Structure 1
């Protein structure tokens, strides 16, 4: 593949593919409340996009006397229950873009800090054949904001960082993707993101198509 071409797309899951951050926050609120604590807005913001062990330690600090792994299991189960009862809240434009990328032969990977069981639920609910790989928080030694998850995705995809787009919604996520060298596009969900030279900032994926992604890769490589 020649320089300047779109080689692959990596997708963060919570807040990017799906508008699920509220499910996580609700599940965290429930667990902390059951233990007599209060999950503050500051706690919720600190957990957005973070590795699950980071979230769990915040929950424990808020008054939950459980081991880290038990917190992760309990909160994740609460999120899974919400998927089952409320459905999977795909963000606007995502399903159309997933299918268009698949039909154009562009490989795609999920890169998430959720664990494999949760990520598999989302991957299996997506249109058939859109994801070639799913990289999860329990597969890497260091989670986001470290570059390890995206470096692992590049290794599995066999693509260059410059030719691979990463879609993210959080500061933690864009830090991870940009540190790995991917062309990072931020599409904020729960929390706003500032303008930065480390990533492009888009309001929505509604109306975004493969042609625009190819043009974006070519322009970024030309300007590099």
Structure 2
């Protein structure tokens, strides 16, 4: 359980969310996909892939472990079918839908009324779109999926592109990334963001050691307290957490 301690507070101009493991707990669904994939490929170690590849693009994983299957159109189709075939294993991360909808609601009250949040996922557009539908989250204007980058996480390209799209690409602008996987945490840090690490997939120590600035069980204890139009900053309060260096 998280420690009893004073709430942590920080200020940001915008928020960037990963999807799998951050908004939706899709580990069970993805794991079943990999196990099914391995049934006809004796060389493919599904359990090792499950253990080591969370947060990476499916195409990159298949290219590494089963290169003969690394055909983009086919991989996109396989991935897009995951929610249909294995979606009963998926669940919303507690507090995730509420927090995203808070950012969306507050965005309408900002200085320009534009969205101040985005999704940056290693999943393909068909996969991520279906997860959002399951979560009842409207697709954001800035929606960076696997097809929109040439370098997947842990490379920061996706998060850097999202910052630019939202108008907060400058180093002095403050952006928060919500992530669960070491690859995504590294990408967020390398994009110059503060990172909230979520323990949906890994234990608190691993999430902290990956570089997260604050480590939480889920998103139920994270909330927007206010928005300042003059500074263009959200005041974010984290009521419960494992570790924090902010």
TM range (shorter): 0.7 to 0.9
Quote the residue 1:195 is aligned against.
Answer: 208
Quote the residue 2:118 is aligned against.
Answer: 109
Q: 1:69 to 1:132 in 2, by over 3 A?
A: closer
Matched, 1:177 2:188: yes
Quote the residue 2:220 is aligned against.
Answer: 206
Q: How many residues align?
A: 212
Unaligned runs of 5+ in 2: 1-9, 108-114, 227-233, 239-244
More strand by share: 2
Residue 132 of structure 2, aligned match among 101, 108, 123: 123
Quote the residue 2:110 is aligned against.
Answer: none
TM-score by length of 1: 0.81
Matched, 1:10 2:16: yes
Q: 1:130 to 1:40 in 2, by over 3 A?
A: closer
Distance in 1 (CA, whole Å) between partners of 2:78 and 2:200 is: 20
Deviation (angstroms), 1:21: 2.2
Residue 98 of structure 2, aligned match among 96, 99, 107: 96
Distance in 1 (CA, whole Å) between partners of 2:83 and 2:236 is: 37
Residue 49 of structure 1, aligned match among 50, 55, 71: 55
Deviation (angstroms), 1:71: 5.8
Structure 1 stretches of 4+ with a deviation exceeding 3 A read: 123-130
Distance in 2 (CA, whole Å) between partners of 1:7 and 1:52 is: 31
Aligned positions of 1:154-173 closer than 5 A: 154-160=163-169, 162-173=173-184
More helix by share: 1
- 1:173 alignment partner, SS class: helix
Quote the residue 2:229 is aligned against.
Answer: none
Distance in 2 (CA, whole Å) between partners of 1:169 and 1:46 is: 13
Matched, 1:60 2:71: no
Deviation (angstroms), 1:143: 1.0
Quote the residue 2:241 is aligned against.
Answer: none
Moved more, 158-167 or 181-190: 158-167
Quote the residue 2:146 is aligned against.
Answer: 137
C-alpha distance after superposition, 1:72-129 (max 9, x if no partner):
235414413236x527521111111122222222621110011112222233444465
Whether the aligned pair in 2 keeps the contact of 1:113 and 1:136 (CA below 8 Å) is yes
TM-score by length of 2: 0.74
